């Protein structure tokens, strides 16, 4: 399993069959359509239809969400992971024929949701008004009152905190000769002082001018009634709006039994949209429909047979020339499938690449396990993976993630056993702190990293060199298959020699090796260097260019590979991080000296350690793959084969009904 | 004055935790702000953005581990503090802690900047999250190198005879 061979097809059918034919292709779901461009043929213009379906899908999804929310349809995490209903195709078609009636319901639900939103806004508005009237609450005349037969009334506010005397004093200063001005403070706060001023109506103008000079402002939205009555009115309005909301909620809840049909409707419109989008790729003559596209080789003959049997159609199959326009279909089983999404995150493989997933998967799990390397954490991951895969039976991409967790867990357990990590130093801690024994023998099958970190660092570099060499080997195979045999040999063999020699000499710096080995290393290093200088510049035109290119390549290889190999020291670093934090957690727990506190700290601390280190390990393993490994051979940039099919979110067709 | 060596060593541990921690705090903070902005547009990006936000957090962790190792090796943690720790050894611990202290400080801040830029990349093109993560993890390497040097140095001081 790796790269699946795709066949190119060209299909001519009668125009009157076009809808049925495209429906059929969508149902079978094994083809990807390619754009047909031929001046002699006409193209469908389905843009407007597509946007109509898009809108309808949105309407339906909104309604589904509203019903889900009001009817309190709750799903557990496990349910939402495997959340689809199986239906057969006939059921689907039947429901689709009632699409319009369900749509009416959806629109009704959306109208109700809209009404709820409006009423909620109304409540907010009324609350603001209540806050606005509140300072005036004790005023016992309407807020917009201006006069009585004999007096003028000024109701308004100052933008500061004032006492009655303050206002009176300031008015007296402005109008020393006017008498009989009455000031009443209605409310006063740090921000404003609300007051009412009364005077004889003959003095009205003078008082108004004086008040304005003191900073008096009339309220911009005075109530026509008593402020207290206005507040009561607002409260009544809020009550009414709340009742309206409750009524709407209840009305929406009535649609609870339509929930499944609404969900199907949303899926239906999504599928319709997809269909009409694909139609744009087809072309039509006066009476014929013309389609082109790709289909996996294993399905090709069957598809041709089925289509020619059902329709008046002719289907031609041929092997496509592998250009960049041809999509790439990668299929892997569990082991390699788990890392597909990581490869695609970098770039999906192109037609020039071999499928990198199987080899990369092995190294990914290996390096991941070495960085996390705790048997306890590994066993937990294995359990999560197993439960997700075989108990909950997650599907699709989640299934691949479950495989990923499973294999990473296996590798983590493997390294954990070698390095003696089980929830850090849980077992020695329990022995010494709770059982009163000695620490006991080392649990490590191999050695403990913290005791001999130089050894682990050298081992990390060795693992890195193996990883890089595998990448180079894939480059050799790829170039060889493409016919560039000189390139295949010249770009890899000298580097093998050079880096191997380099590694031996480097090891000698840290831990001396035997003189024979060292001299072999030196010869390898020299041979590699000479070969690189001689071959790497071969594309240049003259001898100076060739040599210059060679020397430059030698320099690049020295710095490049040195950096690449040193980069694997992160294997040691992350390995230590997990172990040491786990150790600190256990130590903190043991310091409490009581078993309950120990368990609490143990659970909290190790959960934190797992989360932080899972993310760190995931990221750093990705980086080793992307930067160090992929740069040796991988181009990427292919188009992923995305078959034209029903992308139903909540439903799944029963297998056997597809071909009816 | 007999404790001067221990004091130096504790200074070293404090340096490692504090400076690397500042680096991480600034870095994670920067990415957090960018993340909040990106999430306001599209909450479904949370998973991708969270990884980016956690990346500059490791520097603090590295500093913490070095400090723990100093505490263990000097006997402050789990045992009796080595009262007669020679001042030369104390200074050695202090010196060993400096790489992760300053490497962590600066790489944390810069990784935070790269990761924050990565968040805006992911906000526009969610399929590019792999590259955004890779770019940020390139900076990480310059926290790993000082961490390793600090670690190797701290773990070898105990064996030096003075």
Domain boundary among A327, A349, A381: A327
Is the residue at A79 inside a domain?
Answer: no
Is there a contact between A412 and A381 (Cβ–Cβ < 8 Å)?
A: yes
Measure in Å the smallest separation between the Cα of A562 and chain B Cα atoms.
14
Contact A569 B144 (CB under 8 A): yes
CA distance A242 to chain B (A): 29
> Does the distance separating the beta carbons of A573 and B144 come in below 8 Å?
yes
Would the pLDDT of A323 be above 50?
A: yes
Question: How far is Cα A326 from Cα A324, in angstroms, rounded to an integer?
Answer: 5
Q: Quick one: A322 and A338 in the same domain? A: no
Does residue A424 share a domain with residue A348? yes
In a domain, A231, yes or no: no
pLDDT tens profile B75-99 = 887 666 766 788 899 999 999 999 9
Contact call for B137 and A623, based on CB within 8 A: yes
For A541-603, the three-class secondary structure string (H helix, E strand, C coil) is CCHHHHHHHHHHHHHHHHHHHHHHHHHCHHHHHHHHHHHHHHHHHHHHHHHHCCHHHHHHHHH
Class of domain B4-157: mainly alpha
From B100's Cα to the closest Cα of chain A, the distance in A is 12
- Chain A nearest CA to B127, separation (Å): 7
Q: Is residue A50 part of a domain?
A: no
Tell me: do A160 and A180 sit in the same domain.
yes
Cα dist. A338→A166, A347, A626, A637, B98 in Å?
79, 16, 16, 20, 41
In a domain, A600, yes or no: yes
- What is the domain-level CATH number for residue A167? 3.30.70.2750
Please write the tens of the pLDDT for every residue from A417-431.
Answer: 999 999 998 999 888
Residue A232 token pair: 């009561």
Say if the Cβ atoms of A587 and B130 lie within 8 Å.
Answer: no
Q: Do residue A597 and residue A476 come from a single domain?
A: yes
- B135 close to A (CB below 8 A): no
Q: Is the CB of A624 inside 8 Å of chain B's CB atoms?
A: no
Residue A309 has pLDDT above 50, yes or no: yes
Last residue of a domain, one of A263, A292, A327: A327
Q: Are the beta carbons of B148 and A612 separated by less than 8 Å?
A: no
ipTM, 2 dp: 0.78
Domain residue limits at A296: 1-42+284-327
Dist CA B107 CA A612 (whole Å): 18
Q: pLDDT for B7-64, tens place per residue?
A: 999 999 999 999 999 999 999 999 999 999 998 888 888 878 888 888 898 899 899 8
Whether residue A166 is contained in a domain is answered as: yes
- Domain co-membership, A153 together with A202: yes
* Whole-number CA gyration radius for chain A: 39
Q: Sign (positive/negative) of CA torsion A223, A229, A230, A231?
A: positive
Are residue A388 and residue A485 in the same domain, yes or no? yes
A581 contacts B148? CB cut-off 8 A: no
Closest-CA residue of chain B to A615: B51
- Looking at the fold, whether A294 and A385 belong to one and the same domain comes out as no
Verify that A30 and A179 share a domain, yes or no.
Answer: no
User: A574: nearest CA in chain B?
Assistant: B144
Q: Do B148 and A457 touch (CB under 8 A)?
A: yes
A177 within a domain of the structure (yes/no): yes
Q: How many separate domains does chain A show?
A: 3
For chain A, the 3-state helix, strand and coil shares in percent, each to the nearest 5, are: 65, 10, 25
A378, A310: one domain: no
Confirm or reject contact between A510 and chain B (CB < 8 A). no
CATH of the domain at A34: 3.30.70.240
Rounded to a whole number of angstroms, the CA Rg of chain B reads: 19
pLDDT at A84: 67
**Residue of B133, B135, B143, B146 to mutate, interface with A, max A Cβ within 10 Å:** B133
Residue A149 lies in a domain: yes
CB proximity B121 to A under 8 Å: no
A323, part of any domain: yes
Domain edge (last residue) among A299, A327, A355: A327
d(CA A515, CA A525): 15
Give A-chain residues touching B77 at CB under 8 angstroms. 587
Residue B155: its chain A contacts at CB < 8 A? Answer: 450, 453
Distance (Å, whole) CA A181 – CA A207: 8
**A342 and B CB contact within 8 Å:** yes
pTM check: above 0.90 = no
Task: Show the CA angle centred on residue A47, arms to residues A43 and A49, nearest 5°.
Answer: 110
Same domain, A478 and A618: yes
Residue A127's pLDDT band (cuts 50, 70, 90): very high
Poorest-confidence range of A203-217, A295-309, A486-500, B8-22? Answer: A203-217
* Domain definitions of chain B by residue range: 4-157
User: A581: nearest CA in chain B?
Assistant: B65
Q: Which residues of A617-637 are buried (b: 16+ CB within 10 A; e: fewer)?
A: bbbbbbbbbbbbbbebbbeee
Using an 8 Å CB-CB cutoff, list chain A residues near B147: 573
Contact flag B65-A622 (C-beta cutoff 8 Å): no
| Dihedral pair phi/psi, residue A74, rounded to 5° | -110, 140
Taking the CA of residue B4 and the nearest CA in chain A, the distance in Å comes to 26
- A295 and A430 housed in the same domain: no
Whether residue A660 has pLDDT greater than 50:
no
Instruction: Please indicate whether, in this complex, the C-beta atoms of A620 and B137 are within 8 angstroms of each other.
Output: yes
Could you tell me if A388 and A479 lie in one domain?
yes
Residue A166 pLDDT greater than 80, yes or no: yes
Looking at residue A423, its pLDDT comes to 93
pLDDT at A128: 92
């Amino acid at each position: 399993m790796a790269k699946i061979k795709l066949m190119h097809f060209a299909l001519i059918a009668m125009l009157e069959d076009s809808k049925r034919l495209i429906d059929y292709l969508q149902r079978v779901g094994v083809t990807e359509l390619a754009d047909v461009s031929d001046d002699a043929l006409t193209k469908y213009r389905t843009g407007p239809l597509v946007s109509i379906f898009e809108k309808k899908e949105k309407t339906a999804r909104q309604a589904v969400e509203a019903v889900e929310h009001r009817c309190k349809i709750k799903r557990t995490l496990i349910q939402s992971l495997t959340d689809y209903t199986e239906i057969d195709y006939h059921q689907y078609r039947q429901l689709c024929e009632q699409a319009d009636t369900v749509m009416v319901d959806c629109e009704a639900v959306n109208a109700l949701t809209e009404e709820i939103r409006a009423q909620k806004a109304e409540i907010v508005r009324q609350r603001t008004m209540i806050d606005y009237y509140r300072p005036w609450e004790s005023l016992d005349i309407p807020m917009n009152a201006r006069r009585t037969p004999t007096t003028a009334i000024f109701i308004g506010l100052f933008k500061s905190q004032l006492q009655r005397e303050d206002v009176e004093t300031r008015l007296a200063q402005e109008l020393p000769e006017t008498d009989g001005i009455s000031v009443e403070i209605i409310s006063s706060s740090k921000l404003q002082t609300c007051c009412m001023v009364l005077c004889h109506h003959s003095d009205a103008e003078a008082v108004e001018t004086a008040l304005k000079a003191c900073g008096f402002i009339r309220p911009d939205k005075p109530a026509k009634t008593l402020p207290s009555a206005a507040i009561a009115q607002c409260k009544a309005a809020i009550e009414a709006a709340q009742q309206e909301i409750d009524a709407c909620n209840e009305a929406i809840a009535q649609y609870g039994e339509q929930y499944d049909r609404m969900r199907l409707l949303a899926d239906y419109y999504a599928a319709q949209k997809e269909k009409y989008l694909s139609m744009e790729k087809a072309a039509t003559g006066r009476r014929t429909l013309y389609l082109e596209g790709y289909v996996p080789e294993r399905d090709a003959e069957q598809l041709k047979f089925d289509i020619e049997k059902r329709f008046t159609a002719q289907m031609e199959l041929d092997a496509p020339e592998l250009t960049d326009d041809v999509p790439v279909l990668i299929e892997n089983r569990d082991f390699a499938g788990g890392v597909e999404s990581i490869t695609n995150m970098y770039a999906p493989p192109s037609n020039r690449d071999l499928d990198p997933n199987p080899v990369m998967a092995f190294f990914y799990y290996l390096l991941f396990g070495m960085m996390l390397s705790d048997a306890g954490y590994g066993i937990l991951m294995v359990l999560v993976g197993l439960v997700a895969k075989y108990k909950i039976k997650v599907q699709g991409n989640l299934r691949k993630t479950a495989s990923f967790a499973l294999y990473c867990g296996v590798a983590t357990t493997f390294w954990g056993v070698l390095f003696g990590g089980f929830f850090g130093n849980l077992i020695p801690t329990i022995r010494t702190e709770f059982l009163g024994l000695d620490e006991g023998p080392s649990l490590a099958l191999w050695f403990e990293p913290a005791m001999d970190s130089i050894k682990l660092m050298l081992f990390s570099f060795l693992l890195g060199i193996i990883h890089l060499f595998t990448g180079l080997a894939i480059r050799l195979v790829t170039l060889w298959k493409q016919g560039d045999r000189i390139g295949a040999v010249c770009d890899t063999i000298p580097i093998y020699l050079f880096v191997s020699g380099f590694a031996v000499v480097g090891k000698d710096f840290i831990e001396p090796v035997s003189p024979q080995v060292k001299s072999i290393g030196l010869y390898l290093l020299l041979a590699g260097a000479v070969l690189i200088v001689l071959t790497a510049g071969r594309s240049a035109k003259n001898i100076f260019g060739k040599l210059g290119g060679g020397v430059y390549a030698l320099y690049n290889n020295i710095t490049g590979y040195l950096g690449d190999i040193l980069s694997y020291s992160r294997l040691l670093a992350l390995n230590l991080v997990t172990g040491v934090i786990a150790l600190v957690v256990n130590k903190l727990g043991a310091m409490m000296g009581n078993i309950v506190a120990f368990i609490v700290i143990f659970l909290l601390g190790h959960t934190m350690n797992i989360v932080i280190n899972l993310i760190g390990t995931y990221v750093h393993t990705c980086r080793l793959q992307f930067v160090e490994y992929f740069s040796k051979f991988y181009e990427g940039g292919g188009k992923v084969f995305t078959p034209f099919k029903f992308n139903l979110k909540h439903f799944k067709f029963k297998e056997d009904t597809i071909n009816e | 004055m007999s404790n001067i060596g221990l004091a130096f060593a504790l200074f070293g541990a404090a340096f490692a935790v504090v400076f690397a921690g500042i680096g991480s705090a600034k870095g994670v903070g920067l990415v957090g702000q960018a993340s909040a902005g990106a999430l306001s547009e599209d909450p479904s990006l949370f998973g991708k953005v969270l990884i980016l936000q956690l990346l500059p957090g490791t520097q603090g962790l590295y500093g913490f581990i070095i400090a723990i190792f100093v505490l263990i090796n000097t006997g402050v943690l789990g045992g009796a503090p080595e009262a007669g720790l020679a001042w030369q050894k104390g200074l050695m611990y202090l010196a060993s802690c400096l790489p992760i202290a300053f490497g962590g400080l600066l790489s944390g801040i810069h990784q935070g900047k790269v990761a924050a830029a990565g968040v805006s990349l992911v906000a526009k093109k969610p399929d590019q999250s792999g590259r955004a993560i890779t770019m940020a993890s390139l900076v990480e390497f310059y926290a790993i190198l000082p961490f390793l040097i600090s670690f190797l140095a701290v773990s070898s001081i105990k064996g030096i005879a003075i």
